[in-house]
Structures are given as structure tokens and as C-alpha cells.
Structure 1
Amino acid sequence: MEKIDSTVIKAKDKSAVIKAKRKKWTKEDTELTILGLPTFIWFIAFSYLPMFGLVIAFKNYKISPGRGFIYSLLKSDWAGFKNFKFFLESNSFTMLLRNTVGYNIVFIILGIVIPVSLAIMISMIHSRKASKTYQTMLFFPHFMSWVVVSYFVYAFLSPDKGLLNQIMVFFGKEPIQWYMEAKYWPYILVFMNLWKTVGYSMVVYLASITGIDSTYYEAAMIDGATKWQQVKYITLPCLKPIIVMMFILSVGRIFYSDFGLFYQITQRVPSSLYNVASTFDTYIYNALRSGVTIGRTAAASLFQSVTCCIAILSANWVIKKIDEDSAII
């Protein structure tokens, strides 16, 4: 009994010493605090303080003559959930929800399958020069602005001098009024999104592949595994955590859309393409331009933020139920 008691006392004393050490502020803590202070200030100034503006979504905001923004905001009448009701009951809401979520589902699926496939193929290229060339070619569109890309797209699809129409006329076919034919644009938008984003995702997955221990592949080759078997039983399982993480982050923006893609590429969403190219983001922008009250557009933006938060938490919860180690929260 005495030996057991002494052991328990020693363990308690040891834990007390550890707790005391943890509570003591060290020089390293000071250095890390100073290092993280600029980021902390940035988030306070640009992420948390602007959240006060969410009050606009619940007010009938009106500018008071000769007064500033804060005064006008505080003095504006409360609208409650009327701004949200206006947005949710609008004639375009169902179409906007279908386009925004539908396109994003396609982007998420193809944005995982194609980059992963490309990353695996490039990782198997023996020539280092060829591998770097392909990576650069695929990654380059990521740095291009949608404004610049829209001019190139217009050069291809222009009704008069467009390259595609000239090729079609050369082969004896009738030219197509691309900006008047809505049926082609779901495919054009999906293609352009992949063209611009697939390179970045591919590099992320390729970096993960290069981090896989080469001894796994050497052991598999000794056992007579084919390339497909190596990919199936080594590469893909090792890529699983990063694939799941990218999937969850993508779901977190499922109610947002790339404004440049849907607004610039379509040449400001003409009426002929309204039903296939309009999303929540283009709707909010056009509403602001047409004079819709800022409270109603703020309500639409807040709706996007809340639904995206729910989406990412739900996706993480589902992943956690399936595989707890793969969840990010």
C-alpha cells in the first residue's frame, strides 16, 4: 500500500509540475504572439468589424441627407425578415438556386476526378522536363483574369468574325449565333471553369503524390503489381485525406458562383442566356445596378453565407460519420 501511495503521489506531483510549466509565459510565446499579431489585426479589421454591416439585411436602409453611413444605418427602420422574404419569394429564386447549386455540383465532381487523374498521369511521366512543361501549361490559366479570358472567348464565339463560325462556314455549315443560343452555354461554362481551375487543383494533388513514400511502390513492384494496381491500392488511398479536404472546402461554396465566369464570359448575361447563366452572384450585382434597395441585396448575400456555412458543416458531419480521421472539423 505504501508503494502504491508513493507512486500516486509522485504522479500527482509530476502532473502539477507539468501544469505549472504550461501556465508559465515564455519568451517563445511572446515571439509567436508578436508574429501572429498582424494577422490577428487584419482579421479584426477586415473580417469581424465589417460583420456589423449584416444589420443592413434586417433594415430598410435609407441614406440620411448630410449624415454618414453609420448614422443612416442606425436610424433606418427595421424591416425584420421582409428583405429575405422578397428574395426567397421572387420569381427567379428557383432558377437561381438550380443554376448555382447545379453548376457547382458538376464543378465539384469534375474538379476532383479530372485533376486527380491528371496528377496521377503526370506523376508517372519519367521525363522531368516533360512533366514540368505539362504542369506549367495546365497551371498557367489559373493566373489569367476572367476579363482577359472573356475577350478570347468572344474572339472564338463572335457572331460576325468569330473563329468557330469562320471554320463552320469554311466547311459549308451555317454559322451559329452563340450568344443567342442558350443550349450551348452549360457546356461552355463547365469547360471554361475546368480550363481555368483544373491546373491549380492538379498541382495540389501532384504535391501530395510526390510526398508518398517510394518504398510502397518498390514493394508493390516486387510483388508484381501493375501500374493500375499501384494507383488503386497505394496512390488513391494516400490521396484520400486531401481529396476529402478539397471536397469539403468546395461544398462550402456551393451557394456561391464565380462571378467572372458567369458575368464576363457571357458578356454580362444577356436576356437570351438569363435562364442558363444567372446565379445568385449575378442576380445580386444586377439588382444593385437596377436600383434595388441595398437591404434586399444584403439579405441575399447573407442567405448565401448562412447556407454555405450549413453546407460545409453538414458535409463535414457526414464525412465524420463515415471516416472520422478525414473530417477537417
Structure 2
Amino acid sequence: MNYISSRTVLFASTLLLAATCQAQAQAPAKQQGAYPNRPIKLMVPYAPGAGADFTARTVGQKLSETLGQPVVVENRPGANGIIGIDAALKSPPDGYTLLLTSRDTMAMNPALYKKLPYDPISSFEHVGIAAWGPYVIVVHPKTPATNLKELVELAKAKPRTLSYGSFGTGSFPQIGFEALNGKMGIDLLHVPYKSAGLTIAGALAGEVNVTASSAAGLIGPIRAGKLRPIAIGSQRRSPLLPDVPTLEESGVAEEILPQVWFGFVLQAGAPKAIANRLSSEIRSIVHSKETAPRFIAMGLDPFGSTPEEMAESLKRDLPRFRQAAKAIGIEPK
């Protein structure tokens, strides 16, 4: 008959307990090391179409390939991007809800709203800016202006008869056109829409005389002759639109119409290792030989910043856009 002493049983139990505790302690590390092990949701707080959606879907498709898991794009537009951002922030900060953001929703919204469900700095684990893009000012073909000077002259000759479309109160197009109103002594009437796509649709239908958007959403209608470009908000002309003068060439400071960027964030509390990995993957994607030409063809400049560079850019922009909003009479509501 075999006899096992109580001391042997106690020793074996101690070893088993230690092994169990070690396995439990290592489990989170293993799970993180296996990231991603299920599909990733990519929230886009804008309607389909234009530069934001293009950036999300282009990067999302390539991330699916490099990460080996589906990246599912979900558009959740409304309220200057606030609805989609709020929805993303309510998801667990586990790296499985990636959010596309833009310069206006992150740097401009704090100048427009007294209360936001997010802080551009503390509410997020920044991943990086994917691409920059200038806004292109376009007019409906029935508007008799082939450049910015002619648009200003027409607005002076027919005060309060010309209108411009924007993505909503406080959007970059409104900031730009109101600054143009003040600088040139004109009074273009503001017609706000709920998204860039709807604004472009309004311009195509002739509901407004002029609007501005990233080239990504305008290049198709421009090439089809359905909208006429008259100026671009960049330091140099775009190779896509070489005949379109810059704002500076048109006699207006470039700063009147800020360039937009599109980037990515996770919720605050998400593992930094995941944010850094996603940042590295996205930088590689936007600069790849396959993807970079697609961005350039849409009038976007592939950038691929680090998380730290994205945060620093926001810190510079926040006071600047508060001042810009105040200058045209916009008070936080």
C-alpha cells in the first residue's frame, strides 16, 4: 500500500497553486501579444464620401491584410462628429474600436461647444495623423466666376445674393468663408449642411453658389465639369489641379482656410503597445508604393505621424482655433 505523507501533499498543492497564479498573471500579456485576435471596428463620425471616409476605408482595408483580422468600417455621422466620437468612447478601451478623427472635430469643436463628451488630449490614446489635405474652393458652373477675384466682385455687385455651403456651424468652410467675408467686405450667406457629402451634393444641385471641401470629395465632380475650382488652400498648387491658383496667389492669406488632416485614435486607457503598433502599421500603409499614390490621386498628402506628433499638433491648434472662432463671432454654446 502506497503512503503519501501530508507534507508531500502540501508541497504538491503549493507547486500547483504557484503554477496557476503564474499562468493567470501571464494571461493578459499573452492576450495582448496575440492582438488582434478578433475583428476591429473602425468608427467614422462622418457620412460616406469625401476625404475622411476615403482615408478610413483605404487604411482599414490594408490594416485587415497586415493584421490578419477584419477591420469593419462603421459610419456614425452627426453633430460635427460628436455622435460618432461619443459612441466610440463608450466602447471598452481594449484596442478593438479604432476611431478616425479630423482636425476640425478634434481642434475646432472645443471652440464651438461649452460641453463636449471628450477632451482632444486626455480622452484619447493618440495613434497618429494619416494624411493632410488642402480645401479646394469650388463654384457651381452657373455662378459666373472663374477665380476668387471674380467671385468677390460678383458678391460686391450683388450683396447678400450669393451663398456658400458648409458642413455646419464652426466647420472649416464656415471659418474660411466668414474670414473671407470680413477681409473682402462681402456678405456671402451661410447655408449649413450636416456633412461634407451633403454639402457637395448641395453645390452640385445649385443650392449654393460656392463651397469648399477636401479634394478627395471634389475631384470627381471637378473632372466631370460639374463644379469649377477657383482656389486651393495650400502653399503650392496641387499636381491634380495645376491650373487652380493658391489662396495666396488669389490675394488671400492661406491661413484663412486651414488644411484638414485625418488621423486615428483609441480611447484613453487603451494599451500603449497597441496604439504604437497601429501607428507603425498606418505609417507603413500610407507611405507604401501601393497606397501612397491613391492618397495623392485624391488630393491628400500621406503623412503618417507618431502618436506624440499628433498630440503636439493638437496642443498648438486648440488656442489658434478658439481665437479664429471668436474673431468671426462664434461663441461656445
TM-score normalized by the length of structure 1: 0.24
Structure holding more helix per residue: 1
Structure showing greater radius of gyration is 1
